[in-house]
Every structure is written in structure tokens, then in C-alpha cells.
Structure 1
Amino acid sequence: MRTPASTKIMANYRIIILCVILWFFHSANTPVTCSNNKTDLLSLLSFKAAIYDDPRGALNSWNETVHFCSWKGILCGSRHRTRVVSINLMSQGLVGSLSPHVGNLSFLRSIILQNNSFYGQIPREIARLKRLEYIEFSNNSFDGSIPRNLSQSQNLYYLNLIDNDLTGIIPPELGSLLELEALGLSKNKLSGTISPFIGNLTRLVLLSLANCGLQGEVPHALVHLQSLELLNLDENSLTGSIPSGLYNISTFSIFTVRSNQLRGTIPSDLGFKFPKLRHLDLGDNLFSGVIPVSLSNASMLEFIYLSSNNFTGPMLKDFERLSGLRSLIFSSNHLQGDISSISSLTNCTRLQVLSLFDNLLSGSLPGSIGNLSSQLSYLSVERNEVHGSIPSGIGNLPGLTRLSIEDNDLDGPIPSAIGKLAKLQEIYLGMNRFTNVLPSSLGNLSLLNHLYVQQNNIDGSIPPTLSNCSNLLTLDLSHNNLSDSVPREIMRLSSISISFNLAHNAFTGPIPAEVGSLINLVNLDLSHNRLSGFIPNSLRSCVSLQRLHLEVNSLDGEIPRGLNALKGLQDLDLSQNNLSGPIPRFLGELPLVNLNLSFNRLQDEVPILGVFENKTAVSVDGNNELCGGIADLKLPPCSSTNSKKKNFPTVLKILIPIVITGVISFTLSVCFCISVYRRRRKSRDIPSSILSFEGQFLRLSYADLLKATNGFSEANLIGAGRFGSVYKGILDDGQILVAVKVLNLHIKGASKSFKSECNALRIVRHRNLLKLLSICQSTDFQGRDFKSLVYEYKSKGSLEKLLHQNRQQQGGQDERTSSLTMIQRLNIAIDIASALEYLHCGTDSSIVHGDLKPSNILLDDDMTAHVGDFGLAKVMSSISGEFPTHESSSIGIKGTIGYVPPEYGISTMISTQGDVYSYGILLLEIFTNLRPTDDYVLKEHTSLHNYVTSALPNAVMEIVDPYILSEYKVKQSKTEDCMNSVLGIGVACSKESPSDRMSITNVVNLLCKIRTAYLVGEETRNT
């Protein structure tokens, strides 16, 4: 029997044993967890340490005061709640290398670093991540070879390394990644061939190997990829033919092998074998044979590009089933047949591009051409054998921006109906047999940029209404029968900057003094006419002139001294006129490559400097009173030459003391001036893409901008982005407020962004686009490269600020009220849509903005919206080539998360429809005041699009900005109907499939109608 004392001892003993067991259990388990936690923590800190520039503060939260599972871009697992399973730092502007310690994150399944500036090699240690499934490194600067040991990550199903600087071959070890569904290696500097091992990856859905230096043939092993939906082999040096087995893969949606040296024929049953095909691009190769009729049965086709090959035989005649067709490009082949077959395209109601130029098509343009799609923006049939007249139905194509039918056998008058095409920007009618006068209705085309009617039989005078074309860049009416005087009104069109050509006509009278208004003009040709009088001295204002031809006229008087101001003049022809007087010495100081002064009445000595030193570059024949010059000109010596030689020693004695004294002082002055001149010259260097527009910009140097922004002080900083910072500035006179965007040239893509912005802004003018005032490309005071763009300053700031300023001030997640009224939001939405419509359809080239979001929308005092930041813009066509509505790109996303369309994630195309998607999301944000990344509100809906869709139409007033709700309680009226309509447009624009999205033109029209209905409703209520 136990005593109380022994019982107590036993109880204490049990407690001690229990404590020991608990301690042992704790020590056996806890250190492992802590160790693992610490490993992930240290790995992430090492990741951060390898980043030397974080412009957006993406890693600010990466410190030990907060658990790393709460750091931005970090996701921990649901099972292992303290282990990192995902890193997502897409589009954060990060600059640095990728730390090899990332290989210690043993639970990592996904790593997304696309659209940053990571450099250096991809660390081999990443292959230690056995659970890794998803690698997204596109649009960075990784170099070196692709790690061969990636094959150890057997769970990998997505690998995107597009748009980097990777070198070497495609490692054959990747052939063991049997789970791989997407492989993107485009836009790198790889070499070698497409290895047959890729045929082992039988689960591949997406394969993008474009523009990466590959050679050799397309391997037969690719026929094993029976699940392939996208194949992009563009812009390599591939040869041979396409393996026939590839044409048996029925899952293809996108098949593009453009710009190689591939040959062979297209199977006659291709249209049946590719039932899901949306995009077919075989352009710029060596394919031959006929275009299979079966393509007419591929009813899902949207884009057909077969240009620049050797296709022969008849063009397709039956397009009835291709109702979704958007682009049909058969240009530069040897196709035959009747052009009237395009009548079957009238069922293609989405058709935007029809390009058949440079073939052997004959017949006449059908009257049904006016029944083609109202969305048709590009029509090109030049360099064929088309005859007859232009049908008046051409005026029924309201979306047409480019009409090109030159170099055919067309005749008759140019129809006045052409003046109905209000969006027309380019007209190419040259090298035909058109007669009669130019229609005065051409003056209705206020957006017209290029008008070519050369080499026809047009007579009469130039209609004065043409002066209404205030955006004209090129006017070529040469080689016709035009007469009367050159209209002064046309000469006042200062927009003409590329070419003004009236040569080989019968114009009379003097050259109007208004020619001086053409301050940006590069080429002026008035030769082979009957012009008379003096050469106007006002030509001195045409400072951009490079080519001036006035030969074969009846001009008289002396060569005007005003030509001395034309510092860029390279080609000058004044031959076969009645010019008199001496040859000005300044002509030898101009950068002339060709000078023709022959057959005039010029007198006195020929200079012996500059162009006059080159016999092959100058012609002075037929001027009987000229003398001197270089010996090769074989002119008689001037009469005063000998007397000058006799007096030379006396003159020399007098001049030598003066010259020596002067030279010493002059040399010191010149040394100082040269250094000043070089600095000023550099500071005012403007990119070549906009030289022709130089006269429209303020001339600002680095020193000017430094002063205007108070030394680029932080107090003047009004915004920052991936490629640079924006400062508020005040120019010297104190009257001009500007926004100065300074590029961070250390960031990959900044120079490319600068070039893109210049290239896009060179050709745009619209009230809802941010106006560029100046460009500065120079060096700072430390000799470092400096690039900046100067814009108009908009006092109300960005739409981002107006929508979300309360959220920033109060910091509450539920506080999302903006003080913008319903009508203000509608006006802003219409302004942005109008700008977008202009970019897509209203210039000589279609432009994709590429980064539409609230922070890139600025508002002025009148609350007018202006779209800015064209750093990611793409000009999709030019006057010199075809008009592809889509441009090959990487599958790496460029833009801002939340606004980037889903097809940019893995697709090979960028498009205007991508902008429409971004606009749709932006429209939803304007009226809900929710960012597309506000996960705390969107929750299970996953996206703003789905969130709004779920509320339409019955619960729409529950999701709108609370300020609109308060306005609704006061006004009632048609607010709810208005909101349903507006948000419905946003949803229609942001649909997942580009083909399902609303056109931007329809968006503008519908929003204007909604605004009108809303205002009428309010007026009725008030009445």
C-alpha cells in the first residue's frame, strides 16, 4: 500500500517524464520547421540583395519585420503554410541578377519575372527545384546558354524565355521534360537547328521559336506534336519544305512560318485538315504552286498571309464561308484571274485588310466593291492589270484609311464619291490613265496625309479646296496636264513635309512667295513647267529642304541669297532657265551632292570650293560668260587672273603682318567657340525619326530642362514609371508649364521606349493625345547620355489620381469614392476612346498604344482627357510596305498587369484589339472605381471583367462607385440604364477572345449615344 508521500513522488516523476517526452518531441520536430522557414527567408533575402534597382518599390515589404509569406509577390502553400510556392514579380522594373539561392526554395512551383531587366545567366541551381512547374522569364536580359540541367525539373509544364539575350543551341536535355505544354524561346540569339528531340514533347500546345537564329530544315519529328495549337517559326533561316505530317495536326489555331527560305506547295486539302485554324502566315518564303481552294472551307480563318512567295494560278474566288475573315494578304505573287472575284468577300463583314498588289490580276473593279465590309481600312490592288474606272460605290467604305490602286490601266475620271471617305489618309492613284479634273471633293478629306496622282492625264487646275487637307504630308501631281498658276492656298499647307511634286505639267506664272510656309519640306519639285519670274527669297524659310528642282522653266533674275539658309540641301537643279548674275560662293559651302546650273545666263568666276571641286557633281554647261573654276570644267580663265598674280608679292608683304597678328587672337577665340558649339549642338540633337517635324518643337537643351525643373528636384517629381521619371517644369518666360519625362537609360528597353514614343508621336495629332512640345537627346554635364521628352503639363493630373486619391489619403480598403460626376466619367471615357480610334484608324499608320491605364491618362482644367506615354507603342504599318494588322512579337507580356489582354501571355501577336481589351478594363475601372488588381473585392470572381459581368443587369448599382450611387439617389433619371449600357460596353471590350471584342469605332458611337440619352433624360426631368 502506497503512502501519500510515495504517491506524490510518483506523480512528480510522471510529470518529469511527460516533460522530457514533450521536450524530445519538440526538439525532434520544431528545429526542422524553423530551419526550413529560415532557408526560405534567407533565400528570398539573397534574391533581394541581387537586385540593385527597384523603381516601383516592389521589394519594400521584403524585410524581417513582416513574415515573408506576406511579402509582395510571394505566395505560400495551403498545406505547407510557411513554405514559398510562388514568386510573381511581373512588370516591376527590377534590375539585377537572379540569385542562385533561389534554388533553395524547395517547395517553389511557379516563378514569374517577365517584363523586368534581369541580366546575367539563369542560375543552374534553379534545376534543384523538383516541384517547379512554371517558369516565366520573358522580356528580360538573361544571357548565356539555356541551363541543360533544367531537365531535372520533371514537373515543368510551362517554360517561357522569350525576348532575352540567350545564346547557344537548344539543349537536347529539354527533350526529357515530358510534361511540357508551352515552350517559348523566340527573340534570343540562339544558333543551330531545331533539334528532333522536341518531337518527344508530345504534350506541347504552344511552341514559339521565332527570330532566334535557327537554321536547317524543320525536323520531321515535330509531326508527333499532335496537341499543338500554336506553331511560330517566323524570322529564322529555315530551309527545305514543311514535313507533310505537320499538315495532319488538326488542332492548329495559329500556324506561322513567315520570313524564312521554306519552299514547297500547300496541300490541296489544307482547309479540311486545319478546321480550327485562325491564323495562317506563310509570307516571305519560296512557296509555289496554287493556293488551295479548300482554304475557303476553314470557316474559322481570320488572318491569311501568303504574300511574297511564288504562288501561281487563280486567286481564290469563294469566300462565302469565311465570315470572320479580317486580313487577306496575297500580295507579291503571280496570281491570275479576274479582280471581280473579290465580290465574294462581301460576306466577310469583319474584313479590315485586303492586299492583292503585285500580281497578274485583270478585269475591272466590280460595282459591288462598295458592299465590302464597313470595317475595311486597307485596300491595295496596285501593280496588276486592272482596267476600267473606279466604281462610285467606293464611297460606301467609311472605314477606309488607305486606297492604293496605282500602276494599273484604270481610266476615266476620279469619282467625286471618294470625298465621302472621311477617314482616308493615303491615296495612291498614280501610273494609270485617269482623265478630267481633280474632284473638288478631295478637300473633304481632312485626315489625308499622302496624295499620289502622278503619271495620269489629269488636266485643269488644282482645286483650291485641297487646301482644306491640313494634315497633308505628301502631294505628288507630277506628269499630268495640269495648268494655270500654282495655288497660293496649297503653298500655305505647312504640314507638307515629305514631298511637294508638281513636275512635268503646264503651270504658269511665278512661284508663290507662300512657298516659304513649307518649313518642314524635304523635297520640292516644280520642274518642267512654264513658271516665270524670280526664284522667291522666301525659300530661305524651307530649312529642311534636301532636294530642290526648278529646271526647265522660264525663271530669271539672280540665284537668291536666301538659299544660303538651306544647310541640308543636297540636290539643287536650276538648269534650263534664264538665270543671270554670278554664281554665289555660298553654294560651295552647302552639303551639295549634285548641282546643275547648266543652260542659263550666269556670269563671272566659278567658285572652287565644296561641290565645285567635283566635276561629276556639278554642271555649268551652256553659260557662255562663266570663267575659272577647276581645270576639269574646261572654262576660260577669268580676265583679272594675270594681274592678280603680278601684284601678289606686294599684297603678300602687306597682308602677312596683319594675318599673323589676327591668326593668333582668332585661334584662341575659335578654340573656345568650338567647345561651346559642340555642347549646344549635342544638346539640340533630335532623333532622325522626327527631323522632318523639327520646326514644330521648342528647342530646349539639357541646361534649359535642368533649370526648368530646379535641377530635377524631388519636389518637382510628379510621376515615375519603368523607363523614367516625370518632372514638372517652368520655362524661362514663366508662362509655359511643362512635364519633362527623363529616360532612365540604364533600364533595358528605355532607349527602345524613347524611339517608340518618338516614332508614334511623329505621325499623330489629336485633341485627346498628349501634345509633345520638345525632344532633347544630348549629354548631361558629366558627359552621360541624356534623353527626355517634354509635354504639355495637365493641371488635373492623371486619371489614376482622380479615381483613387481618397484611397491613397485614407488608406482604407473600402474607401474608394471619387468625386467625378457621371457626365464627367462619360466624357473622359469618350475622350479616351476617341484617341484610341484615331491611333488605330486615323493616321497613315495603325498604332497600338500597348499600355493603356489610368496613370497614362491626363486631364486638363476642362477635364478633357489626353492619352500619353507611348513608350510601348507599335506602329503597325507604313507607307512603304504592307499593312499587317498584327505584328509578330514575343509571348512575353509587355504592359501593366491587369490591363494586358490574355492573348499576350502566350500568343505571338499584338494588335489593336489588345488596346480594346485594356480600354474595356479601364472603362470598368472608371465607373466602379475598382482596380483590376483589387483582389480583396474581386475575391472569387478572379477578375474585374467577371465581377462586373456577374452584376449585370440587375445588381449593377451595387458595384458602381459610391459617388455615382449618391448622385443616383438625387437624380434618379436614366442612371441605372446608363450604367448597364456603359458597363456592358466595358465587358464587351474585355472579352477573352480578341475576335469577340467590340470595335473601338462602335465604342465611340455607342458612348456618344449613351451620353446624349443621359443628358436628354436629365433635361426632361428638370423640365
Structure 2
Amino acid sequence: MEIFQLAYNNLQGSLPSDIGASFPNLAALVLFANQLHGQIPDSISNCSYLYSIAAASNKFTGLIPSSLGSLQNLAVIAVSDNLLEAKTTRDWGFIDQLGNCTELQVLDLGYNQFQGTIPISIGNLSTSLYFLSLGNNGISGSIPAVIGNLVGLTRIQLDSMLLSGPIPQEIGKLWILELIDLSNNTISGEIPPIFTNLTRMSRLSLQNNELQGNIPEQMSHMQSLESMNLSDNKLVGNIPNEIMFQSLSIALDLSNNYLSGALPLEISKLKNIQTVILSNNNLSGEIPSTIDGCEVLQALYLDRNMFDGSLPSSFGNMRSLQVLDLSHNSFSGELPDSIDYMKLQHLNISYNNFEGELPKGGVFQNITAVDVRGNPDLCGGIPQMKLQRCVTRIQEHKRNYQRIIIIVFSTIGAFACLCMAICFFACRYCRRTHKNAKSSYGMQFEHKRVSYNDIFKATDGFSLDNLVGRGAFGTVYKATMNLETPAIVAVKVLDLQNQAGSKTFLTECKALRNIRHRNLVKVLSSCSSIDHNGTDFKALIFEFMPNGSLETWLHPTACTARPFEALSLTQRMDIAIDVATALDYLHHHGTVPIVHCDLKPSNVLLDSEMIAHVGDFGLAKFLVQRDIMISHSAISTGIRGTIGYIPPEYGMGAQASVQGDVYSYGILLLEIFTGMSPTDEQFVDGMSLPKLVESSFPESIMEIVDHKLFLTNGGKQTGDYTHELDGIHQCLLTVIHHGLMCCKEVPSDRIDIQDFVKELNSAKEKLLG
């Protein structure tokens, strides 16, 4: 027996422990794509002629035998997609021994359970090795510089692991390298200029790391590159003209960085590229007319930048373009006529300043394929678009004339009012001293101005000892400041490198300036200044909540800083009522309804008396007033909120609404009383927290509620739960029933938060007798 090939079957069981003795002449063992398990037997090293072990896509476990290093003819080890492991230096010993296999060409260990760091001895492997894959394991540490010894490598896959540190310069020695994938790690530092030597590189994948600095111009030597992905890093500066390779035929992805400047005119060199993704950067200026040089481009994403100006008419020359996303920019002017004749299947021009008549042909005939929201001056289009009717020139002249008349009379009226005001204040000038005294008394109720230096000193230079937590748009510190009274406060420092940071600051300021309620976090002051480096700095100062967030009480493992006792049933009822009352105020009792858009346990904070306060209004939405009637929805900018708490209609492009907040509150309520997070691993294959609760309601409701609500401090039963069991059961039935009413799929079927507050208070009264 020389070749043993059983690939692509459904074989089970394990390899015989004496396989080496049974088949001493075995040259190729091909077992991939089965369900074999157990260990790779050590006796396989007796097959002295063996050159290929192809056992990928099975369920092999344990260590790779170090004895493989005695096989002088071994050329291929392909054991990816198994359950093989190595944790300690000793476990990785097989790499040390494989240095003896001078014919080794392929080492594929990806998709296993390897941990620890990459052994230094990997640099002793054969220079004949051309394929190295360790990706999709739990390997950490840095990429060893000795990898530069493997000069025969054409393909390196070290993706989706825990690698950190910089990209070693020694990779530049691998001059015949064709593919390198380091994506989905935490690799840091700048992209080194080593790519000057890598002239044969066809695919470069560095996405989702912590890379900083500029894209090096030295990459211009990679004239064989077909695909380049540098997305989801922290790259800055302009897009170099030099990386517009004519060889790029698959994709160029630079999205989710901090790149700035204009789109290079040299983009016309990408004649053969299929996809260009530049989303979520700080790019600006107009789109160059040379873009029509991308003759076979199929998908172009320029969304979430700062582009402006009108679209070039040359867009119409890109006959292969199927997907175009220009949303969230500052484009203006009319859409070019040529766009009507393109083969577009999806078009997103939302949240720009486009104007004029919307075409009716091509992609514009399908309302599900076009998004034009946030362009108030667009008109016409097919009736299903529901845009305003376009105004003719005669109507426009008439409107302009009416505007002039209004402006003239308004100016005259304003001048008359100004004269009356001057007279009024002149008459009262003699009593100004008394008024000044009164005014000065009122000033004590205004927010004290806070500088960057004040915050820097109060947080001890933003010390880690004062760090409270980190969020999507900023960091929260504890500080002692003399505002209304000398007290501990919470300082939220906005992350202005995140493009949404400034918008979040303005949204929170606007929201918190207009609302006051005992169950909302109170803002004490704000700071908009520059730091010691001369960069923009923005912060908000809030009341400090000593009992932290509801998240740390419901899921104590989320915070290891100190142990938390379990929340009692009445405490959970009080918190649920507090949050519902806050929502009722936001939705119904302000000057303008406000939608919070991100209601979740981490945004519910507890003061020293365990009273709940809703905070974090960074995603809040003011519902606009039009034609006297208050609209019940506001246009959303993408999906607002947190996975697990987002109402289903938001995921389908619906507008933010008070009913959306009610859905998030329903999820929060079920989480409070069941102790289960909506993102728990058990919720797969269509199952969700509301569906699980509904399946147990009402018969088995006591089986799914959080049993910790009957216990506190070490599991002792307290007087808080001396109520009759029937009373507890009836209370939970009421609460869970109305929680499920909040989580209805159809927004109009959900209960109004005003009615829910009444039901919760009634349930609490019955519980307490």
C-alpha cells in the first residue's frame, strides 16, 4: 500500500494506532473531508516514504506528533479544520522537529485550537516551504522576525487570531510572496515600507487591525496586486496616487479609517477593478470626472465621507456599475441625466443636498433599490417615491415675488420693534442697578464654565484609577469638581477621532438642555475646548452614579471590580417603573417628543438609593413638527441602537419612533426579570428572548424568571420576599405579559408607555398588599 485515499466520504472512527507498522510503504495518506476523530497516531512516523498527510476537515484532537520530524520525504502537512491543539512550548515541539524535513512545502494548521505564541523555531523550517497557514486559532504574541528566513514562501495566512505588535520588516525578504493575510488581529504600528521588494504580491489583506500612520508610497512597486484590503484600521493622510495599480482587478477596500483629502485623479487607472470601498473616512472634494476610467467597476462605496459638489456626467459611462452608495456626504446639484441609463441595481444617495427632478427610468423604477432620504430639495420621480411635486418656472417666479413682499414687510416690522425696544430699555436705565443685583442672583443657577485644565486636574490627568468605563463614542472618568457643590462627578470625554463623536456631543447637549426629570441623568456642565496638544476636546459632566449601571447588577460577571448582590423583586419593579417613567416623559411630556434610540441596561444608571436614571443620549432623535401636527417618527441615519435591543423595523429601514423605544424597553424589561441577555449564545436559529419567554407564558413563567430575584447576599431569603407566592406569581404574570406587548413585531400593536406605567404601578401595589 502506497496511496491511501478516502477523501470526501462520511467515515467515522479513529486511525489505527499501529498504522505505521501495518503500512510501512505508505507514501500518501489522504483523508480530508470526513468525520474521523481521535489522535494522529505516533506510529505514522514508521512510514519512512510518507510525503503527504492530508487530513483537513475532520475532528482529530490532541497534539501533532513530534516524531513527524523523522520523515525525510514529508512535503505536505494539511490538517486544517480539526480540533488539534498546542498550548505550551512542549506542545509546540513538533515545529522544532519539522526543521529536519528538508522537503516540506505545505504546512496548513488553520482552524484548530492552537494557543500560545508562534515558536521561534518556525524560522528553521525548510526554505522549500511555500504555503504557511496558522490562521483562525487562538495564537497570540507577535509575528517572529525569523519568518523572513522562509524565503520560499508564496502564501502566508495568519488571519483571525490574537496577534499583536508590528509587522516585522523581515517579511520584505520574502520577495516571491504572492499572498499575505494578517487580517482580524490587533497588529499595530505603521505599515512598513517593506512592500518595495514584494513585486509579485497579488493579494494583500491587513484589515481589522490597529495599524496607524499613512499608507506608504513605496507600495507603488506592487505592480502585480489584484486585491488590497486595509479597512478597519486607524490609517490617516491622503490616499497615495501610487497605489492606483492597473493590476487591481478584484477590490480596493480602504473603508473605516481616518483618510482625508481628495479622491486621486489617478483612480482612472483602475480600469479592471470590480469593487472600490472608501466608506467612513474623512475624504472631501468633488468626485473627479476621470472616474469613468474604471470601465468594469461593479460596486462603488463612497458613503459617510465629506464629499461635495455635483456628480460628474461621466458617471454614465460606467456601464458595468451595479451598486453605488454616496450616502451621508454633502453632494449637491441635480443628478446627471446619464444615471438614468446605467445598469444600477442598488443606489443610495440619502442624506446629501441633491436637488431637482428625480429620474423615473432605470433603477429609479424600483423603490426598494433606491434610497433618497435626507434630500429635501429632490422632487418628482415615480409616485411610489412620495416626493414633492416639481415646481415649474412660472410657479417659481411667483414664489420668489411672494418671498420678496414678505421680506420687505418683515424688515419694516422688525425695524419698528427695534425702535420700541430701544425706547423701552432707555426708560428703564435708571433702575438697572436693582435689575443687575437680581440678575446676578439668577446667575448662580447657570452651569459653571469648565475648562480642559479643570477636567485634567479633576481626573488626575485622566488616570486609569479614575476610569469608570468606555463606550462607543467616548470614555467616562470619575472626578471631584466644585460645580453646584463640591462632589464626585462623572466626566464623559468624547472620542473625536470617531466621526460620530462630535455629532454625539451636539446631540447629547441638545437633548439634555431641553429635559429635566428625576429619572434622567442630570448634566452639570460641558466643555468644548482644546487639549494640551492643540486638538479638539469635548466633554460632558454628569452626576456620578455610585451604584453603576443596571448591566453590572443583572450580569455580575460583566464587572469584576466588586461583587454585586442580587436585585430583589421589588428593586426590579422600582427600576422598571423608573425607566418607564423616564420614557413616558421623553415621549409625551416635553416640548418636542424625544426618541432615545439606545435603551439598554448599560445606559440605565443607579444612584446611591438605587433609583434608576436613563442616560447616554448620543443617539437620541427629536421628532420634528410639520404642518402643526407632531410626526410620530423621525428619519433615522442608519440603524440606531445596540444589537439585541433594536426593533425589527429599524433593520428594514424604518424611521426612528417612540414605538421603537417601547420595543427596546420591552427587551430590557424581560432581561430585568429573567436575567437573560438578548444576545445570549442560546438565541440562535431564529430563537430570541421574547420568543423564549412567550413559549413559557403563562404556565411555566416561574421556570424562566431569574431565581436570584428571590435571593440576596449569599443566597439568604430576605423579608423582601415574604409576600404570598400567589401574589408574586400574579405580579410577574402582569409584568411579563405587558413586556411581551412591548415586543410585538408590528409597531402599532405595541402598548403605549403611558399605559404601561399605570400597569406597573398597579402590579407593584398588589405585590406589596
Give the TM-score, by structure 2 length.
0.50
Name which structure has the greater RCO, CA cutoff 8 Å, separation 6+.
Answer: 1
Q: Please identify the structure whose Cα radius of gyration is greater.
A: 1
Give the TM-score, by structure 1 length.
0.38
